[in-house]
């Protein structure tokens, strides 16, 4: 009788220990948010390019899309990618999400939301911001070669966009580079919609519905 009680007590202790082990090893699993981030990029570039191409006028109604889709959606996707240890997505989406926050504030300043700045404002400072983003985008472009071809194409267009925006803002052949920037931004939107749709469908069905293209295989990972 005493032995039976001892065995029962041991089994209860073992069960409690196993439950503790399970609770310690448990972790929150979050879905891939890359499609959300790229959708944010596609939406904001579509709306912004409509103004650059002359299809719409002004920037006041672009600002909400820049903040909510261009910035917050990409930053949220970046945080999820950090959680999921998706190094490329975490850095790339975070960097470009912050970019659109800066652009939104720039437009708001230009519209006088923070008062009249007068002679103290110099738009060439924005050109240097474009150059800084171009430099880092070149590094991201190299990494994108080994992700997939669609993402690599988007990054190449982003590089062209930053070069064009910087030169146009420096007033170097403004009309030409402004037009190049506008069309490259519109192309980013189109490819972005395809990419986010492909990522969503492929993830939902668990197989390739829309191809994103294989990595170029030029640079091998360690």
pLDDT digits (tens, 9 = 90+) for 192-220: 999 999 999 999 999 999 999 999 999 98
- Residue 23: pLDDT over 50: no
Helices (H) and strands (E) in the chain, counts: 8, 0
- Residue 68: pLDDT over 50: yes
Are the CB atoms for 82 and 90 separated by under 8 Å? yes
- Residue 39: pLDDT over 60: yes
What is the chain's Cα-based Rg?
24
| Choice between 6 and 35, residue whose per-residue pLDDT is larger | 35
pLDDT digits (tens, 9 = 90+) for 112-159: 898 877 667 788 999 999 999 999 999 999 999 999 999 999 999 999
- pLDDT for res 30: 65
pLDDT bracket for residue 24 (50, 70, 90): very low
Mean pLDDT of 173-182: 97
CB atoms within 10 A of CB 91: 17
Half-sphere exposure of 147 (CA within 13 A, CB side): 19
The separation between CA 197 and the C-alpha centre of its own chain, rounded to angstroms, equals 15
- Residue 22: pLDDT over 70: no
**Where do the structural domains in the chain lie, given as residue ranges?**
32-205
Distance CA 165, CA 131 (A): 9
Task: List alpha helices for 84-173, DSSP H.
Answer: 87-110, 124-144, 149-169
How deeply is 203 buried, as exposed, middle or buried, from its count of CB atoms within 10 A (0-12, 13-18, 19+)?
middle
The single-letter DSSP state of residue 43 is: H
Alpha carbon separation from 79 to 33, 37, 44, 52, 181 (Å, rounded): 9, 10, 19, 31, 29
pLDDT digits (tens, 9 = 90+) for 151-164: 999 999 999 999 99
The share of the chain scoring above pLDDT 70, in percent, equals 86
pLDDT bracket for residue 88 (50, 70, 90): very high
């Amino acid at each position: 009788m005493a032995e039976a009680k001892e065995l029962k007590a041991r089994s209860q202790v073992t069960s409690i220990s196993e439950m503790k082990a399970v609770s310690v090893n448990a972790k929150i699993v979050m879905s891939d948010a890359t499609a959300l981030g790229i959708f944010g990029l596609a939406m904001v570039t579509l709306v912004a390019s409509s103004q650059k191409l002359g299809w719409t006028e002004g920037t006041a109604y672009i600002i909400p899309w820049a903040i909510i889709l261009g910035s917050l959606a990409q930053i949220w996707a970046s945080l999820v990618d950090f959680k999921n240890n998706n190094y490329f997505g975490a850095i790339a989406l975070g960097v470009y999400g912050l970019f659109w926050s800066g652009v939104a504030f720039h437009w708001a300043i230009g519209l006088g939301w923070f008062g009249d700045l007068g002679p103290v404002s110099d738009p060439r400072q924005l050109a240097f911001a474009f150059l800084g983003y171009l430099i880092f985008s070149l590094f991201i472009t190299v990494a994108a070669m080994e992700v997939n071809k669609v993402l690599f194409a988007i990054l190449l267009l982003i590089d062209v966009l930053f070069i064009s925006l910087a030169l146009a803002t420096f007033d170097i052949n403004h009309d030409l580079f402004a037009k190049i920037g506008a069309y490259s931004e519109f192309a980013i939107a189109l490819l972005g919609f395809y990419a986010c749709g492909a990522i969503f469908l492929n993830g939902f069905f668990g197989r390739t519905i829309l191809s994103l293209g294989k990595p170029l295989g030029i640079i091998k990972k360690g």
